[in-house]
Structure 1
Amino acid sequence: MRTTVLLPLLLCLLAPATGSAADAVPAQRVLVFSRTEQFRHDSIPTAVATLQALATGEDMLADHSEDADDFSPANLARYRVVVFASTTGNILDAGQQAALEGFIRAGGGFVGVHAAADTEYQWPWYGQLVGAWFKAHPPGLQDTRVQPERDGRAHGKAWAIRDELYNYRDNPRPRVQVVATVDERLYQGGTMGQDHPITWCHAFDGGRSWYTGLGHEEAVYRDPNFLAQLRQGLRYAAGRSAQC
């Protein structure tokens, strides 16, 4: 089942100026998928609604589903971007996995949020799509700073975040373009050292992939810095921006 949920306040803040009816073109579609087979995040409804509002602000239509049968070649052909919003565990069977692979190879875009990296460990292609798999996280929510990055260098001011901060099995930097890092000096339990990517993107297997490890805590989805990051991730995955 797919539903469409909007956040009126976000729409007011994020919607671009509209043109005349004569300028209207069919909206691109986004599939937000939040099926879980292991841990389920309480923030999923907020994540879904936020992603749908952001998509609407970009003149895209976003459907929400937890039905793995939506991963068929015919259905995915309707979409420009697939978002995994804190999915966990093994959520697609072999045929559904093949459908997602075909979608990406046909030029589709992927956005992974938070526990998307805690998903499908037995599917090597998926691990490459996301860029790195989740390893562990320190207990509880902790405060740190997110440092935006461009072309391997700090870009813009760091911003404060309180969230569950993932450690990954390895550093994805050699395989991806890092969008932001977190500062392990400001919290306990980081295991990746001075270079701790938390958001990244890359061209992959004919399509585009963008991932952020942030998004565990519901309050994060009210952070304007995070919203701007998510919006740019959607734009990159949809092929609307070369910069992620």
Structure 2
Amino acid sequence: MPPLRRVLLFSRTAGFRHDSIPAGTEALRAVADAEGLELTATEDPAAFTGKSLADCRAVVFLSTTGTVLTKEARTALEAFHRSGGGFLGVHSAAGTEYDWPYYGSLLGARFRSHPEPQPAVVTVRDRSHPATAHLPEQWAWDDEWYDFRSNPREAGVRVLASVDESRYRGGLMGPDHPLVWCQEPPDAGRSFYTSLGHHAAAYADPAFRQHLAGALRWVCADAAAGARPTEH
């Protein structure tokens, strides 16, 4: 069997729509190409079937919002992940599919609110991951600083970066405020989430592109050899 090389990027919105989605799509296309992957971008939930995901290594949710999947698409995505497929969520992917428990566990935490976009300082807590290895321990950045309904640590995730709430206005999570994390469950594929990526200009930033590249490479790693779901 030839190696799995395709990535499916999904950016459908059923709520607020970020104007950074086109820039993010093009950045992730360039990142995928550099990693030797073929990226297919869509906003059609019909793209999620066992057959269509059979040659995918990972699914990316880029700034999706609201309920964006049909019942059939949910079934296909869950089967894909349970069979070893990777998942990468970017920015408002955390504000998606609130009424689907599996997606909540796949992601690790759900979006609650954010103050106005402003500069702050990201604290990189784990520089052994390919998504954060290139970043300084204190990284000045401008973004929407997401608060979450729960601390993702409660879900057992590996926290890679957090934000210092004393360096900006309006944070609600306190001294432990994760921003970027990943999971490697024993019975499913890898998942990665970064809350960063509000501004279109972020996707042209070399450090942020390298952040996305490391995340995509990591979620794809196990999927290359994993089983794929059958058609639903």
Shift of 1:222: 2.2
In 2, Cα distance between the equivalents of 1:217 and 1:30? 23
Indicate which of 108, 117, 120 corresponds to 2:94: 117
Shift of 1:195: 1.1
Q: Percent identity?
A: 48
Shift of 1:93: 1.3
Indicate which of 223, 226, 231 corresponds to 2:208: 226
Q: Aligned pair 1:49/2:57, yes or no?
A: no
Q: How many residues align?
A: 215
Greater relative CO, 1 or 2 (CA 8 Å, sep 6+) = 2
Runs of 4+ in 1 over 6 A off after TM superposition: none
SS class of match (1:121): coil
Structure 1 partner of 2:230: none
Structure 2 partner of 1:149: 125
**Which stretches in structure 1 are left out of the alignment for 5+ residues?**
1-24
Shift of 1:221: 1.2
Structure 1 partner of 2:220: 238
TM-score, with length taken from structure 1: 0.84
Structure 2 partner of 1:160: 140
C-alpha contact 1:151 1:177 (8 A) present in aligned 2: no
SS class of match (2:190): strand
In 2, Cα distance between the equivalents of 1:27 and 1:90? 28
Q: Aligned pair 1:179/2:160, yes or no?
A: yes
SS class of match (1:191): coil
Indicate which of 118, 129, 134 corresponds to 2:106: 129
In 2, Cα distance between the equivalents of 1:95 and 1:118? 20
Shift of 1:157: 2.5
TM-score, with length taken from structure 2: 0.88
- Residues 65-112 of structure 1 show CA distances to partners (whole Å, capped at 9, x for unaligned) of 011100011001121010000000101111110100000011000000
In 2, Cα distance between the equivalents of 1:46 and 1:151? 26
**Which stretches in structure 2 are left out of the alignment for 5+ residues?**
224-232
In 1, Cα distance between the equivalents of 2:90 and 2:198? 9
Q: Aligned pair 1:69/2:59, yes or no?
A: no
In 2, Cα distance between the equivalents of 1:197 and 1:120? 21
In 2, Cα distance between the equivalents of 1:26 and 1:102? 20
